[in-house]
Homo-oligomer: A and B are copies of this chain.
Amino acid sequence: MAKVPGGLWQNLIAVQVYGANTGVGKTVVSTLLGHHFARRKGNTRWLVRYIKPVSTGPSDEADEKYVRRYTNQPVATLFKYDQPVSPHLAVRGVKFIPTDAVIVQKLHAKLKADARACAMSKGEMGISLVETAGGVLSPGPSGTPQADIFRPMRMPVILVGDHRLGGIASTISASESLLIRGYDLDAVVCFDDGGKHENSKYLKSHFQSNGIPCFELPWIPDLQNLSMDAEIGKMMTYYDETSSDRSTYKLAGRLIDSHVARLRNLNSMSSRTKNVIWHPFTQHKSVEKPDDILTFDSAYGDYFQVKHTARSKQGVVMKNEESLLFPAFDASASWWTQGLGHGNPELSLAAAYAAGRYGHVMFGGATHEPALTLAERLLKAMKNPRLAKAFYTDDGSTAVEVGIKMALRASCKRYAWNGSAEDVGIIGLKGSYHGDTIGAMDASEPCVYNKNVDWYRGRGYWFDFPTIKMSKGRWFVEPPPGMGEDFGPTEYFEDLDRVFNLEERGHSPRYEAYIESVLDSLVTEKGRKFGALVMEPVILGAGGMIFVDPLFQQSLVRVVRRYKFVANSSTPEDADSWTGLPVVFDEVFTGLYRLGRFSAASFLQVHPDISVHAKLLTGGLLPLSVTLASESIFQAFWGDEKSDALLHGHSYTAHPIGCHVANTSLTQMQIISRGDLWKGYQKAWREPATTDAEELHFTMRGEEKGIWSMWSKKTTTKLSEHPLVDHVVAIGSVLKVSLRDKSGSGYSSTAAAGLRDALLNDVTEHATRVHCRVLGNVLYLMASMNSKDLNLVEITLLQQLSKL
């Protein structure tokens, strides 16, 4: 997960040479290409460099020595170990074992120097041949497969095929391991074995049908029983002859063509995008400049690889020594989806496994392992005894629609309302947002999102509520403006944990009285009908990252559940049955560990009747959503008629890829949630632990160790003290920074946009560039649940804020 720029330069072709196995001729191919480019005919003079990142074995047998001998060009080895074994064994007993990040950063520095050399000699092009060790997945010093170590730079690959018996299989398998890690194969190279195994013939046909050219090179001479001098002479002749061979010209030409095509494509993407793409949530009139669209070449771990724009280059010396790509920390977690980082090889393999086992199989009247297992695991992990059934859809919006359909049917059926003819609305909170389809939109109050949606009809009532904030280092719960009378004055708390300590805070007579009085006015006086309580627990996301007082949400549920929405209606006998109205929690954003807990409902100590999940469900890989419901909700659709059923179901409902990836992600997340990384965060937020009783209190809660965040307590407090900051909140992986804005707040505000742009285009040396999103005057930050670079983001944020 190293923060390193992608391996793409204007005038330098940086290419990795991988082997289908050990002993297939990687060094010969590297040497041949080095020899060729150093002597290549044409107008361009080529600077040739050879790099061996990790080498094992005695120095006099080193690959770099061999390559220098035949190419007479500069060579470099970055990490050398004497023992002639795999790097992960060779480092035993060695004092300094480089991490994966150190290896890739050193490699990048070396290539940057190569690019600088090209830039200094005007008009020249360079090629740097990076020769890997062993096979594609041979372990590096840390034990990580080297294809994973080098992945952040994602340089194009030459794969040297295996000419031996069995080489067809090993070459294709090696290529598959590269492809599932997101590498582009520029070429497969095979030595012509004179018709013995005919591997190259088969491989040519195989790879060409996959759009990857395969090149056959002349057989390496037989060197058995030759003296050292004779061997060198023979090989010198081989390289001299082969280097000017037609096949070598074609291979080298392919590398050049690929490079040129890659640059041309990258440079044209933002303008081509403007031509054909209608962007989500975008006023296109305001994104007219070429820099307004970022081009993502790839992503890995926490980082996007972004094409440099004119703006992002400002102040950076860009004399072609810089990579054309820069890493930007994905601090919106790609619209709140990321759980395990981009390009996660385990999720990638899980997706491919399910695709290979099933493709997609229809779910009507059928079942399959991934969907069944996921339903069982989710229902168990929710620890909500009410939830009994899982209904799959494709995204948060569709899952919310299902939740609303479920709740409305249940209440209309029990209260004998005709929902199709009568206005039956929902009860919610002001500023809520549940998705973009009409039904989900109708569950939110009128706002900028639905202002010009012609079929939008807000159906319900949305409550005011008190919010959680931290300002000047102090936590408090603030009533809505001008409503202190109803909600009570601003309450201050020693720490965030006390805000969420609902036992300690007790029931709130004031909250309950307010809620009851509003309901009385709506239901009794105005005769309005309501069919569900629909709420995002803890945070209203798209509404502006508004943190709601959990005691208010808990009070709302308590009142709604005991309230008589229909006079004289009887309460069901079954204890798990819903009362008052079905309670729907939209945990699309806040659930599945986003706030550090499996379910955000646990913060409120409420068991909803319906719970909606999406986003993090697949660890951030692809769309899948699920609506969990209680047995009493399920029973509302039980009947003799087909039309009594929930007649909903998208074609890809419960698609095996999504479900299997979700299962894989859940396993990973559960490991992370119990791991040292999170324990560190939790401990840091508890300090200073005031009393033993308090420590015990955290321990007693088991996995829910109070309230904590992946963002440091120190930075959060510091931010809250900044004069430009109105308030902050941090829970789990979410950090909200609300800026003071004289021009008014809300979605249509443009405050915070300046800070957002400054974070992305920070040109301080070694600065971490941060890609984030704003909602009006709110800048929020969020990362994968296994991110280790949050401190880097915090430094950038504090620095840029100090410049405002």
Contact = CB atoms under 8 A, between A and B. Distances in A.
Given A145-B172, A455-B404, A349 B180 contact: yes
A615 interface: yes
Nearest to A174: B173
A357 interface: yes
A394 B394 contact: yes
A85 interface: yes
Contacts of A136: 169, 173
Nearest to A387: B276
A424 B180 CA distance: 49
Nearest to A397: B650
A703 interface: no
A135 interface: yes
Nearest to A281: B649
A448 B643 contact: yes
Please indicate which of the listed interface residues A168, A338, A435, A639 has the most CB atoms of chain B within 10 Å of its own CB. A168
B356 A645 contact: no
Interface residues of A, number: 173
A165 B85 CA distance: 8
Interface string A321-362: 000000000101011111001111111110111111111111
B172 A176 contact: no
Contact of A284 (B398, B645, B652): B645
B276 A651 contact: no
A190 interface: no
Given A166-B22, A372-B277, A352 B179 contact: yes
Interface stretch (A111-119, A620-628, A724-732): A620-628
A42 B281 CA distance: 67
Given A145-B172, A197-B85, A351-B657, A342 B367 contact: no
A388 B276 CA distance: 6
Interface string A355-389: 11111111111111101100110010000000011
B278 A353 contact: no
A213 interface: no
Contacts of A349: 176, 179-180, 352
B621 A359 contact: yes
A464 interface: no
Contacts of A347: 355, 359
How many copies of this chain sit in the oligomeric assembly?
2
A747 interface: yes
A364 B272 contact: no
A473 interface: no
Given A169-B138, A285-B638, A358-B299, A651 B395 contact: yes
A135 B173 contact: yes
Nearest to A306: B366
Interface stretch (A240-248, A436-444, A484-492, A684-692): A436-444
Interface in A413-456: 417, 419-420, 424, 435-440, 442, 448-456
B296 A361 contact: yes
A449 B304 CA distance: 43
A366 B294 contact: yes
A337 to B, nearest CB: 5
A361 B435 CA distance: 19
A651 B134 contact: no
B279 A364 contact: yes
A367 B398 contact: no
A298 interface: yes
A303 B760 CA distance: 50
A312 to B, nearest CB: 13
B334 A279 contact: no
A169 B335 contact: no
B281 A648 contact: yes
B282 A169 contact: no
A504 interface: no
Contact of A394 (B85, B276, B454, B623): B623
A451 B643 contact: yes
Contacts of A176: 173, 176-177, 180, 349
Given A176-B349, A390-B277, A452 B359 contact: no
A480 interface: no
| Most B-side CB within 10 Å, residue of A336, A343, A658 | A343
Contact of A358 (B282, B296, B438): B296
Interface string A147-184: 00000001000000000011011101110110111110
Given A166-B135, A283-B639, A645-B282, A651 B614 contact: yes
A409 B621 contact: no
Contacts of A238: none
B420 A454 contact: yes
7 contacts: A173-B173, A182-B355, A276-B376, A296-B361, A337-B652, A395-B651, A396-B651
